[in-house]
Chains A and B, each alone.
Chain A
Amino acid sequence: MAIPHPREIQTAVVDWLDERYPFTKAVDEALYQRVPNFANAFYYCFGGMVFILVVFQLLTGILLALYYVPDATGNPAPAYTSVNFIQNNVYLGWLIRGVHFWGANLLIIMVLLHMARVYWTGSYRAPRELNWIVGVTMLLLILAFSLTGYLLPWDTKAYFATQVTIKIAGLAPPQQLGTFIKELLQGGPAVGPPTLQRFFTIHVFLLPAVIVLLMYVHFRFIRAHGISEPM
Chain B
Amino acid sequence: MSDKRLLKEGPGAATAETEVPVIEVDSHGHTLEPDYKRLPIGPDHILYPVVVGLALFPILMGDAGHHLADDMPEDETHPFFPDHFWPYPIIAVVMLVAVGLLAAFVQKNLQLETSADPRTVTIPRPDWYFLFLFQLLKLGPELFMALVIPPVVVGALLLFPFIDAIAGPRFAKRLHWKTWPVPGRNIYTGTIFVIGLAIVALLTLWALAGPQFCVPWFINSPVCGA
Contacts and interface: CB of A to CB of B under 8 A. Distances in A.
A100 B203 CA distance: 27
A161 B30 CA distance: 53
Contacts of B172: none
A10 B43 contact: yes
B51 A31 contact: yes
A106 B69 contact: no
A224 B116 contact: no
Interface string B21-35: 011110100111100
A154 interface: yes
Interface string A94-133: 1101110111011010000000100111101110110011
B218 interface: no
Given A21-B23, A27-B55, A156-B122, A40 B160 contact: no
Given A35-B69, A106-B95, A125 B80 contact: no
A28 B32 contact: yes
Given A31-B51, A97-B103, A173 B96 contact: no
A33 B32 CA distance: 5
Contacts of A30: 55, 57-59, 80
Contact of B109 (A36, A84, A101): A101
Given A122-B183, A223-B65, A34 B78 contact: yes
Interface residues of B, number: 94
Contacts of B177: none
Contact of A156 (B68, B88, B120, B162): B120
A168 B98 contact: no
A34 B99 contact: no
A173 B142 CA distance: 12
A94 B22 CA distance: 52
Interface string B105-146: 011011011111110101111111110000001000011001
Contacts of B112: 80, 83-84, 87, 153, 155
A35 B74 CA distance: 10
Interface of A: 6-7, 10-11, 14-15, 19-22, 24-37, 39-40, 45, 48-49, 52-53, 56, 72, 75-77, 80-81, 83-84, 87, 94-95, 97-99, 101-103, 105-106, 108, 116, 119-122, 124-126, 128-129, 132-133, 136-137, 140, 143, 146-147, 150, 153-161, 163-165, 168, 171-173, 190-192, 216, 219-220, 222-227, 229-231
A226 B95 contact: no
Contacts of B79: 31-35
Contact of A33 (B30, B46, B92, B143): B30
B70 to A, nearest CB: 7
Nearest to B37: A32
Contact of B72 (A15, A36, A94, A106): A36
- Most chain B CB within a 10 A radius of its CB, from A22, A34, A37, A173: A34
B61 A219 contact: yes
